[in-house]
Amino acid sequence: MDADPDAIRERLQVVHLDEPLSVSEEAVLYAEDPQTGCIGLGEVEAEAVGNAVSVVVRYERDERSGPPYVKAPGRVVRKSWGRDRTGVLSRVRDLL
């Protein structure tokens, strides 16, 4: 299945996080696709959205096997905590 990047962008939920991650000293933006659970992180919205789109496309190409992907600048990891939103930031920090 070919994913439509524009359709993915439209459904992303983007949140500005006030805390820095280990990948950056700057606060980051968090973009999550509610349909797949994949997450993109970035220092600017365009980077977070681009990272989210890239992992959603990859996840859908892999026929949605296994946990969703998380992509920070330069890294892709599996989101192993399912749909549990509590402690998302600390879990992402642990993975990176």
Give the start-to-end residue ranges of the domains of the chain: 5-77
Q: Hunting for tokens 């959603």 — which residue is that?
A: 56
Residue 77 phi/psi, 5-degree rounding, is -135, 165
pLDDT for position 2: 61
Encode 63-74 in three state secondary structure. Answer: CCCCCCEEEECC
pLDDT for position 1: 47
SS3 category, 44 = coil
CA 31-13-60 angle, to 5 degrees, is 70
Q: Is the pLDDT of residue 16 over 90?
A: no
Kindly state the average pLDDT of the residues 9-36: 80
Q: Is the pLDDT of residue 34 over 90?
A: yes
pLDDT for position 48: 92
pLDDT for position 84: 62
| Contacts with 70 (C-beta within 8 Å, 6 or more apart), sequence order | 38, 39, 40, 41, 55, 76, 77, 78, 79, 92, 95
Kindly state the average pLDDT of the residues 51-78: 85
- Per-chain mean pLDDT for the chain: 80
pLDDT for position 73: 79
